Amino acid sequence: MLDTLEEIKRNLQKEIKGISTLKGAEQLKIKYLGRNGGINDLMKLIPTLPVEKRAAFGQKINALKVEITDTIEGFIKKLSSEAIPKIKSEIFDITLPGKRPSIGKRHPLTQTIDDIKEVFARLGFDVAYGPEVELEHYNFEALNIPPDHPSRTDFDTFYIRDDVLLRSQTSTVQIRIMEKQKPPIRIIAPGRVYRPDTVDARHSFMFHQVEGLLVDEGVSFADLKGVLNQFIKTYFGQNIQVRFRPSFFPFTEPSAEIDISCSLCGGKGCNVCSYSGWVEILGAGMVDPNVFKAVHYDIEKYTGFAFGMGVERITMLKYGICDIRLFYENDIRFLSQF
């Protein structure tokens, strides 16, 4: 009898070697441990034994049962852990669409600045930059803005010290470039500017401008009109109407403000254009001789024009955005539309 038990163990070891699937292992389990399995057959023999031997034999069978159970369960575990990576690779479906990584976008203001740079690059303009923390000299004096000019007060300019401020216009870059370079000059200068305005749908204490400056011999107002017309038509489209209105800036003479037909209502009149059909987008003019004097340019030899535009304003007009604050809130629902 005991020999039979040993034989069962040996058979099991042999059979296991020939099995490589989970299904095979389950069948093996039934064969040895199932209701009609080998172990149960042995149990059935117990009543046929002499009474005094029954208990000892029963214990042996139980020990064998535990051993066989351990062996088979261990084998099943081993097989299934080997099978998992196989199953995983089998269910990988390469025809599924997959998850797209969300791709970042340029901020709409950056896009506008890039678009402006591109149009002016085609007209031969380089890009220049200047500091946002600026000396009073560059923001006012050199630009022919007199000491008693209202824009110099605390109401219109953020002062850091008496002679140091946050620039309120990118016109500062005109002076910085002309101090360093001789004509011909052809630059645009994008950047942030600061004014102590109360924030509302149209005002912000910080916004962006793009300045332009062209200086050479024989530059005329006709050149200014040509360049700005070209820019506006390229940026807003050929059908946009442009009008030049006489205006005043201390650093240009003569000066003009440039309006375009309201791109939101098509010139019919809406609350963005105050029902006039026109919106102002640029300040411009011929560089004032006093500005050339401040940078020691020969005013007999050189003339030039300058212009400045608000980037937020242009972006709002182009895309029909009605509140400037949207640009600074970093709300993805807004930003992802551009």
Residue ranges that bind ligand PHE, judged by CB under 6 A: 169, 171, 211, 249, 252, 283-285, 306-308
Q: 338: helix, coil or strand? A: coil
Look up residue 52 and give its two tokens. Answer: 């005094």
The distance of closest approach from Cβ of residue 328 to ligand PHE in the complex, given in angstroms and rounded to an integer, is 19
Cβ-based nearer residue to ligand PHE, 144 or 169: 169
Order of strands across the sheet with 126-127?
A: 126-127, 185-194, 206-216, 303-310, 278-287, 252-261, 242-249
The distance of closest approach from Cβ of residue 171 to ligand PHE in the complex, given in angstroms and rounded to an integer, is 4
With residue 277 as reference, give the H or E element that holds it.
none
Cβ-based nearer residue to ligand PHE, 57 or 231: 231
Q: Which residue's C-beta sits nearest to ligand PHE? A: 308
The distance of closest approach from Cβ of residue 308 to ligand PHE in the complex, given in angstroms and rounded to an integer, is 3
Look up residue 95 and give its two tokens. Answer: 């025809």
Q: Are 134 and 164 in contact (CB under 8 A)?
A: yes
Tell whether residue 253 is among the known ligand binding residues: yes
In terms of DSSP bridges, do strands 133-135 and 164-166 run parallel, antiparallel, or are they unpaired? antiparallel
The distance of closest approach from Cβ of residue 284 to ligand PHE in the complex, given in angstroms and rounded to an integer, is 5
Cβ-based nearer residue to ligand PHE, 78 or 203: 203
Cβ-based nearer residue to ligand PHE, 68 or 228: 228
Look up residue 282 and give its two tokens. Answer: 């640029």
Burial 195-212 (b: 16+ CB within 10 A, else e): beeeeeeeebeebbbbbb
Cβ-based nearer residue to ligand PHE, 12 or 135: 135
The distance of closest approach from Cβ of residue 192 to ligand PHE in the complex, given in angstroms and rounded to an integer, is 13
Known binding-site residue numbers for Mg(2+):
253
